[in-house]
Amino acid sequence: MQRIATVAVFLFTADRVIATEARVDAMGGLYQFVLDDEALVIQDNPAYMGDFGGRAVTEMSTREFLQGGKAYGGFLVDAGPVGFAFYLNNPLYTFPTLGNERDAHGLTFTLGTNGQGARLALRFGFATHQEGDTGFTVSAREIDLSPGLLLPLGAGHLSLFGQARSKGYSDDSRGPDSILRPLSTFSSLGLGARYVGPGDTKLIIGASFYRNDDGQKIGDSTDTDARTGGTLFAGVNLVPFGNSLVMAGLTADGYRRQGNGDARATQFRILAGVGSELVICRWFLLRSNMSKFLLIYRQERMADPDNPYTLLGSSGFVGSFGAGFLLGPARVDATMSEDLLYNGPYFLTGEDSNLVWELSVLYLF
């Protein structure tokens, strides 16, 4: 009964989704090199859910939570040969209207197999929004279908996953001749693969590909906005001592965006990053990250196709840090940015700065 009550507390705190997982973000958001976080179930391949037992989690951004109660939560359950996960208010996506943008809120459900061999899982997400005095003046919905497969490969494994998103919205607030709708029913299609090697120092290499279509039409006029891109990455995940963790690698990503006529944009970047989690004592974890874009190339002809904008360069180092606190079966994670050293957290200063403060609470049952 106590376990059921605890899960209920986590779910009913989930009013809106805004934050990403605080633990991984404190280490630089290097999801491609993460192997031991339940973030993988939502952010990556749902078949990873077989690596985790029963747990409940809630995620929030402190500033957004205090301003508008933005958070989400859910739980993962190990039911023997199968496992399932349920996240309330995830996914959340922003859709256009003829006025201000709106948010759609939903839920995500994952069902998959457990065991030591090949594992298969399917993640299903649904989000919706509707408003209006007469009929559905503004309405939206999104369906997210993501299959995943984990295959043993020697002492390592191969991760294969895909995603298909169907997004629809409509705004007829300006009359039947100016209805806003998307150009394509399928807003996103993606495929990805990742190889994870054996041993305490695990080699990780992978690639992903996606196609997004955010084009829209208002009445008889159309606005093309399609993006095709991909990512290549290679790095290591290692345990230098105890239960501490170090992740490091290179990530190359790029895309080509097509607008109306000859309007287009191209971008290519190479990022080097190192993230770490240091076990200070049995109840306290310290996390940090240092990242740098080694190369940034961008050419844009979207606003004025006859006057292209070109950028070629790199970036300075960017750091992040955070902490984890182990309290019996619970773990509290916090992510802070560099601004914490100068501005302080939002809940103390009340200032709307560039400070990023994320908080997550995990409970094992």
Q: Residue 338's pLDDT is what?
A: 55
- Give the model's confidence band at 301: pLDDT under 50 very low, under 70 low, under 90 confident, else very high: confident
- Give the model's confidence band at 12: pLDDT under 50 very low, under 70 low, under 90 confident, else very high: very low
Mean pLDDT, range 238-257, rounded to an integer = 94
Alpha-carbon gap, residue 19 to 359, rounded angstroms? 8
- Give the model's confidence band at 166: pLDDT under 50 very low, under 70 low, under 90 confident, else very high: very high
Instruction: Look at the block and give the residue holding tokens 């705004």.
Output: 171
Kind of pairing between the strands at 245-258 and 318-327: unpaired
Total domains in the chain come to 1
Alpha-carbon gap, residue 272 to 314, rounded angstroms? 11
CA dihedral 343, 273, 362, 60 (to 10 degrees): 40
Closest CA to 64 of 355, 265, 268, 307: 355
Domain span holding position 352: 2-364
Alpha-carbon gap, residue 360 to 24, rounded angstroms? 11
CB atoms within 10 A of CB 235: 22
> For residue range 68-126, what is the model confidence (pLDDT) as tens digits?
556 778 899 999 899 999 988 766 778 999 988 888 888 999 999 998 899 999 999 99
Decide if 29 contacts 20 (C-beta within 8 A).
yes
- Give the model's confidence band at 19: pLDDT under 50 very low, under 70 low, under 90 confident, else very high: very low
Region for residue 4 given its phi and psi (left: phi exceeds 0; alpha: psi -120 to 50; beta: otherwise): alpha
CATH number for position 73: 2.40.160
> For residue range 327-356, what is the model confidence (pLDDT) as tens digits?
999 999 988 755 554 445 444 545 544 444
- Provide the whole-model pTM: 0.84
